[in-house]
């Protein structure tokens, strides 16, 4: 094996990998396709030296491939942020040749926009959590369809609040529906029961998967945090230690204000638009719970609502709580006493 520092860019596809190898002087040593197999990539790259690092654009399947390539070769494999890499391209044209070259060159100049490569157990938990979120969205859609059909039939005088046992019993037995509407409602109610049972099964699976996870256990010790909230935070955030401050964590979770100031004009553009929406939803739900049951956060919410709209105030509570949570999850280093 040649002992040269090289930089490797990998353009990932389902059936092949485009491999570009650059040396420190930006000379292209190879730029061609090989099989979508970590051993094939290792055989090709090892002919030219030992990589200082490999860059792989984040996409579906890239994280698992990066793990396998690291296991086979021992190389440092980094995931590149697909959106930022796209903006760094020099022209509008796109080709596998140029994409792989760009990744390798960004590595060479130490300008790769890197994203965190979650370990396998976090990615597996993430799949469970996101599957549950899909089920919840489907459940919400079915409920909206049922309510819409009742509105079309002008059945608005229900004897109880929607989705209570009394309301569901009324819905199953009322004779105010036309035959086809009744048939549709029965089918939707059957689907709703199946979804509720499936969500319960996912909850049991999440409970089993996180039983030995110390991070999830510590999250569940916090007031207002249950199984699903803890599992979602663990799956989407992964490691709290990868953030330098609680402010960074809050921005990642999309609960920080967005500044739109320019010159003498000072303006607020709401909260940041980037980030995981489901994670932000979980945090806002947690903030509502805390403001209802915890004196500290209820006092904060009431104080903020004096000068801010209620929606802005609850986001601010979520922001403050998340920054507080960061310090609970990340142990502070012991202070060194000077002699």
Structure tokens at 101: 């070259």
Query: Do the domain assignments include residue 31?
Result: yes
Question: Are 192 and 221 in a shared domain?
Answer: no
Query: Do the domain assignments include residue 191?
Result: yes
Quote the radius of gyration of the chain (alpha carbons, Å). 26
Domain that holds residue 184: 120-209
Q: What is the pLDDT of residue 335?
A: 41
Q: What is the pLDDT of residue 278?
A: 86
pLDDT digits (tens, 9 = 90+) for 101-123: 999 999 999 999 998 999 999 99
Question: Are 231 and 302 in a shared domain?
Answer: yes
Provide the number of structural domains found in the chain: 3
Question: pTM for the complete prediction?
Answer: 0.86
Q: What is the pLDDT of residue 208?
A: 97
Question: Are 158 and 262 in a shared domain?
Answer: no
Of 70, 96, 115, the last residue of a domain is 115
pLDDT band of 236, cuts 50, 70, 90: very high
Query: Do the domain assignments include residue 141?
Result: yes
User: How many whole angstroms separate alpha carbon 108 and alpha carbon 7?
Assistant: 6
Q: Does the pLDDT value for residue 218 go beyond 60? A: yes
Check if the beta carbon of residue 17 is closer than 8 Å to that of residue 96.
no
Query: Do the domain assignments include residue 338?
Result: no
User: How many whole angstroms separate alpha carbon 42 and alpha carbon 141?
Assistant: 47
User: How many whole angstroms separate alpha carbon 116 and alpha carbon 237?
Assistant: 10
Length of the chain: 339
Of 209, 242, 262, the last residue of a domain is 209
**φ, ψ dihedrals at 56, nearest 5°:** -135, 125
pLDDT digits (tens, 9 = 90+) for 296-318: 999 999 999 999 889 899 999 99
Q: Does the pLDDT value for residue 45 go beyond 80? A: yes
Query: Do the domain assignments include residue 335?
Result: no
Question: Are 16 and 65 in a shared domain?
Answer: yes
């Amino acid at each position: 094996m040649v002992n040269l520092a090289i930089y490797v860019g990998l353009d990932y596809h389902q059936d092949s990998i485009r491999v570009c190898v650059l040396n420190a002087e930006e000379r292209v040593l190879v730029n061609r396709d090989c099989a979508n197999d970590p051993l094939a990539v290792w055989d090709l790259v090892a002919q030219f030296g030992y990589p200082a690092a490999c860059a792989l654009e984040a996409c579906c399947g890239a994280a698992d491939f990066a793990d396998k390539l690291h296991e086979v070769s021992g190389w440092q494999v980094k995931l590149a942020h697909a959106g930022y890499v796209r903006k760094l391209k020099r022209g509008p044209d796109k080709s596998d040749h140029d994409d792989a070259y760009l990744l390798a060159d960004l590595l060479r100049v130490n300008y790769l926009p890197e994203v965190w490569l979650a370990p396998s157990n976090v990615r597996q938990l993430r799949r469970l959590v996101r599957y549950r979120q899909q089920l919840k969205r489907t459940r919400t859609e079915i409920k909206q369809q049922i309510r819409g059909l009742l509105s079309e039939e002008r059945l608005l005088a229900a004897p109880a609040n929607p989705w209570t046992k009394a309301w569901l019993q009324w819905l199953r037995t009322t004779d105010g529906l036309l035959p086809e509407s009744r048939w549709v409602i029965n089918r939707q109610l059957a689907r709703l029961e199946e979804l509720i049972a499936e969500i319960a099964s996912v909850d049991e699976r999440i409970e089993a998967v996180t039983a030995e996870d110390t991070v999830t256990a510590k999250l569940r010790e916090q007031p207002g945090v249950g199984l699903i909230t803890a599992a979602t935070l663990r799956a989407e955030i992964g490691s709290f230690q990868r953030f330098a401050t609680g402010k960074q964590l809050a921005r990642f979770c999309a609960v920080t204000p967005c500044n739109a100031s320019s010159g003498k004009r000072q303006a607020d553009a709401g909260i940041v638009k980037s980030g995981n929406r489901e994670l932000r939803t979980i945090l806002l739900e947690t903030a509502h719970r805390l403001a209802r049951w915890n004196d500290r956060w209820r006092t904060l919410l009431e104080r903020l609502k004096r000068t801010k709209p209620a929606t802005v105030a609850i986001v601010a509570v979520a922001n403050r709580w998340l920054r507080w949570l960061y310090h609970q999850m990340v142990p502070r280093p012991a202070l060194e006493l000077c002699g």
